[in-house]
Amino acid sequence: MTDRSGILPHSPLLYALASVRFAPLPLLPSKIPEIHEQLRDATPLLQNVQQQTQLVMTHGATPIAESSTQAWLIMASDRSFGVQLGTEQVLFFARRYSRFAAFGEFITRCLGLLFEHMKFLDVTGTGVRYVDHIKPRQGETLADYVAEDFLTPPVPTFDPIGGVSQYIYGAGESQLRVRSVFSAEALSIPVDLIGLIATIQGPENPLILTKLQRDEMLLDMDSVLNFSQPRRQDLKEIEKTLDNLHKNANAFFRHDAVCTDFAFEVWRGEK
């Protein structure tokens, strides 16, 4: 039995994200300079971001006009990790990742400052998301890495060349939303992350959109807990929720019904 635990030196991870959504904080913009100053030793970069939102009505009704909200992106000097602060959401990201504990330390530090300045949060949802880009080596196929249940079902006389699947799993009160994309027509990053990633990379390193190669897959796991109405939570409660959501996504990724033993041998550097 292959060891699936511990750090994977050759992990396929593309991005790790965590988010907390909450009832509006109208005074947050005035606190951004102070929050940034308190984080500046680790994340010196500060960038204002305009977020565009459009609500589309169904049954042929006229779409509601786009609205714009402000957010502030605070990042490490190499842009490898950071936080996007908005009046209704805080979003953490990391491009290099070994253990959730290290990522969690930065999350706790940022949330602690948010509580310090805003006093309390009425949480509407939390999430931890991992996007993996699985790339078989020369002479290998996706079937060497991913369990057959996540690949295109075989049909006699037809050649399976790709696909998209989306599943939702329950895990206590939370859900795990899993999307796998393996098609040469698909982009190599999730469409909903293009704006964020382009902003993170900055004008000096413009984002170049490329497509997946044959036998490559994006495995996108989003572990979420949403509330029907805002729930006031303290820092410890939010930390515990995020840790549990991480554990759900991590357990799924390492389950032998998802990826093969061979995949983990490669990612551990044993093959």
Tens digit of each residue's pLDDT (9 = 90 or more) over 6-64: 889 999 999 999 999 999 999 999 999 999 999 999 999 999 987 654 444 444 444 54
Which pLDDT score, from 0 to 100, does residue 102 have? 87
pTM of the model: 0.91
CB-based contact 93:200 (threshold 8 Å): yes
Q: Which of 10, 198, 177 is CA-nearest to residue 93?
A: 198
Residue segments in the chain with a per-residue pLDDT below the cut of 50: 53-62, 64
DSSP letter assigned to residue 65: P
CB-based contact 64:53 (threshold 8 Å): no
The structural domains of the chain, with segments of one domain joined by +, span 13-267
Q: State how far the Cα of 112 lies from the Cα of 159, in Å rounded to an integer.
A: 53
CB-based contact 161:232 (threshold 8 Å): no
